[in-house]
Copies of this chain bind each other. A is one copy, B any other.
């Protein structure tokens, strides 16, 4: 398992259920991480910096070799979409749980992906299909496309190297800065242009494909609620989906997969504009963070499918016998402060208490006492709520969030509660500008300040009252030192 955090735990769960022994890898910062505690074996990689640990291909391959691993699951992030890593696995005789390296390479370059998809007849966003560095040609292309245009990095995603340009006068400067950002982020400054769509929705389709040429989509996920181009709430079905649109977009997703020779699980992302027209955006060639909501409505285990497909088995179902039921929502619980621009908030988890009960799933990578490292992605856990319909799923999620206590780092829990309670969300008005439109400068309404002060005072009084006692975390359970007395030894 070439990853850490909640996704490493989630993948290992299915492995254990299938009787597959697991090997974790870990950095210095993760000696006590939850994924290390769960694995059948664990191999130390090195210093906390990703380049010395989870991003270090040689070390990861060597960990696999030394433990006799037969396959590597890359999770998401880190090496998951690195074609060199997939290629290396292929060379070393390790099964890479994902598509072949040439598919990753082809779809990883956004302009190559656009060419591949355009050839299959699926609509792509108007724009360029090759990267360009000549400022004159770029300016001409921008004029052809028509402002506003979007400058994008050919080599990557996550919002890096991306610029929205509304007028020709800002264009040249924006190209230079986008290219240099792309160069820093991906070691590749190549950029290209797309038409900028105002207030689109982000709708993606989960696909699974086997080596025998079968491709099935597992319906859509709506992922429009984003901050800094990163999803924070996902749901399925999409509030705008009709059976007819689902049929067309699903077929397009399958066509994209077939055109690219796709194998294993992947996600075809689309933008849907205000008129309900959809455009191919990109393919994520990995298990997606938000895959659990698809599992909730289909009853399938996508990691199990990945492992079955990787071992050469055909998909155990056809498009016709995959059925969706109910509604599922995922909230990502990051270590970040929603009152301070969603700035990261690493630190020690002093106490946590996760919601449980009907329709609740919690994919969690932390525990009380764990020190959340500063070096990695801020995702702590994913809370998933399933219910019969969207309204019930929203209500269930709100209650579950209220029961989710994490002390020691800040989390977006109070922000998520307010988003889910909002009328805009209830109406399904979920466009990618949702947070900027409805929640810019958000602060929670702090109605219980008196109660919070009362809690502070009572806590302090309880501590002072017990200060004369010999020892112990005051207010907590008595320690062995209090109850047992001194040892004979």
Contacts and interface: CB of A to CB of B under 8 A. Distances in A.
Contact of A477 (B369, B396, B474): B369
A474 B464 contact: no
Contacts of A360: 361
A326 B487 CA distance: 54
A441 interface: no
Given A299-B325, A325-B325, A392-B301, A477 B357 contact: no
7 contacts: A10-B358, A17-B396, A17-B399, A19-B395, A323-B325, A356-B362, A474-B481
Contacts of A464: 487, 489
**Interface pairs A-B: 5 shortest CB-CB:** A471-B471, A17-B395, A473-B479, A356-B362, A16-B399
Contacts of A156: none
Contacts of A304: 392
A363 interface: yes
A477 B472 CA distance: 11
A387 B295 CA distance: 10
A363 B359 CA distance: 11
Contacts of A364: 356-357
A300 interface: yes
B388 A299 contact: yes
Interface in A344-363: 350, 354, 356-363
B388 A300 contact: yes
Contacts of A471: 470-472
Contact of A356 (B17, B323, B363, B489): B363
A358 B388 contact: no
Nearest to A387: B301
A14 B358 contact: yes
A18 interface: yes
- Please give the count of copies of this chain that the complex contains: 2
Contacts of A395: 16-19
Contacts of A487: 460, 464
A299 B326 contact: yes
Contacts of A17: 387, 392, 395-396, 399
A463 interface: yes
A13 interface: yes
Interface in A294-345: 295, 299-301, 304, 323, 325-326
A292 interface: yes
A467 B300 CA distance: 51
A364 B362 CA distance: 15
B363 A295 contact: no
A476 interface: yes
A158 interface: no
A177 to B, nearest CB: 42
A149 interface: no
Contacts of A388: 299-301
A444 interface: no
A9 interface: yes
A480 interface: yes
A361 B358 contact: yes
B350 A357 contact: no
Contacts of A463: 480-481
A360 B301 CA distance: 12
Nearest to A292: B358
Nearest to A302: B358
A476 B474 CA distance: 13
Nearest to A393: B17
B472 A472 contact: yes
Interface in A258-316: 292, 295, 299-301, 304
Contacts of A16: 395, 399
Given A301-B392, A358-B10, A387-B301, A473 B476 contact: yes
Contacts of A387: 17, 301
Interface in A4-50: 9-10, 13-14, 16-19
A158 to B, nearest CB: 26
Given A16-B399, A300-B388, A301-B387, A357 B9 contact: yes
A362 B356 CA distance: 6
Contacts of A474: 479-481
Contacts of A399: 13, 16-17
Contacts of A300: 388
